[in-house]
Every structure is written in structure tokens, then in C-alpha cells.
Amino acid sequence: MAHSTAGVITLTVNGEKHTLPVDHRTTLLDALRERLDLTGTKKGCDLGQCGACTVLLDGRRAVSCLQLAVAAEGREITTIEGVSDGERLHPVQQAFLDLDGYQCGYCTPGQICSAIAVIEEHAAGWPSAATADVRPEAGPPPLTADEIRERMSGNLCRCGAYVSIVQAVAQAADAEGAA
């Protein structure tokens, strides 16, 4: 059977709908960068191994290089361009600025999208591989530096800015907890 290998899709990005024709092979990452001119999301490895392309899909972090654009139709896509509240930076963005959570900045959009989700996952009580006792009776683990490092391990930083990234995530988590 011959299948149609392209189609017109509608992507909802940062609350805005975009209708565009795509070849089915197009990843969400390429659709964002090359078609919608949203170049904040970065391409590192293009194989799911570095986290530079992290975006939020229905509020959950995902790597956009392994996500086909056509399969993202109908989902709420949030990129780094959409995380701030107008001119007011997201607390995670502010913390990365305050604490120099980057050097070259290439991994930063992915780090920030990931960190936003990490803080939410932790608040929802999700354990991680750094959690000593995953049983619900043990209660949610405190967001220690070890927990942050493990939860952020899907985002590589070629510049090695990890020390300040961990501090920035901790500060943002505190700020949000206080808010």
C-alpha cells in the first residue's frame, strides 16, 4: 500500500497555533528551528543523547530531536521562548542568570526547560535514581544536590557549568517553594 509521506499539521507552540506542511520525517526540533524560526531550542547530538533540544510537551520535558513533528500534533508544546511571563523571567531563568548557570549558553535553553520540569516532578513526589527509598511511605525525597544532579543528568553541558547549574536549580526550587 502506498502511504502519503507528508501532510499538513497544526502545532500548538507557546499557546499559538501554527499550520504547516511537513514531510513526516521532520522532527519537532527541526520544525521549531527551521520552519517556525524558534531557534532557542538547540540541536546537539540529534540522537537523544545530550538534552540540548529539551522542550515541554503537555508540561512534561521531552527531547524534541526524537519526537516527530507529526506525532506532536494536538499537544501543548512549550519552548524556551515561551517560559517567561512576558518580560518577567521564569524563576529558573532568573536563577541561571543570578548564578551564572552557563558559559557558552548552548545547552542553556535545554537545561532551563529541563529544570522547570524537574522542579515540578519533584513537587509531584516523583522519586529518582538518587532516592534511597522509593516506597511512597518513605515520603518525597528532599531536593538535595545529589537529587538535582541525577534528575538533570539528561542535560549535558560541554562547558562543564554543572556546579552553578545545580545551584541555580536549587535556588529556583526554593524560590518557587516560597512563592
Partner 1 sequence: MREFGYQRVFDVPDALAFGADPEARYLGGGTNLVDLMKTGVDRPALLVDVRELPLDRIEATDSGGLRIGATVTNSDLAAHPEVRRRYPALAQAVLAGASGQLRNMATVGGNLLQRTRCGYFTDSSQPCNKRIPGSGCPAIKGEHRNHAILGASEHCVAVHPSDMSVALAAFDAVVHYETADGPGELPLAEFYLPVGDTPHLETALPSGALITGITLPPAPVAADSRYRKVRERASYAFAIGSVAAALDVRDGAVREVRLAFGAVASRPWRAREAERVLTGGPATPHAFADAADTELAAAEVLPHNRYKVALVRNLVVAMLTELAEEAAR
Positions in the binding site for ligand FAD (CB under 6 A) = 48-49
* Nearer Cβ to partner 1 (97/134): 134
Hunting for cell 522509593 — which residue is that? 134
Cell of 142: 528532599
* Pairwise CA distance, residues 71 & 39, whole Å: 20
Check residue 117 for interaction with partner 1 (CB under 8 A): yes
- CB contact at 8 A, 128 and 151: yes
Work out whether 34 is an interface residue with partner 1 (CB under 8 A): no
Q: Which does 18 bind (CB under 5 to 8 A by kind): ligand FES, partner 1, ligand FAD, none?
A: none
HSE toward the beta carbon, residue 54, CA cutoff 13 A: 26
Please name the residue that has the C-alpha cell 503537555: 58
Among 128, 161, 167, 168, binds partner 1 (CB under 8 A): 128
Nearest residue (CB) to partner 1, 40 versus 48: 48
The reply to whether 42 sits near partner 1 by the rule CB under 8 A is no
Which of 36, 38, 62, 161 binds partner 1 (CB under 8 A)? It is: 62
Q: Is 160 in the site for partner 1 (CB under 8 A)?
A: no
The one among 13, 28, 31, 50 contacting ligand FES by CB under 6 A: 50
112 Cβ contact partners less than 8 Å away, ≥ 6 residues apart: 80, 83, 90, 92, 93, 96
* Type and span of the H or E element at 128: none
Our finding on whether 79 is near partner 1 (CB under 8 A) is no
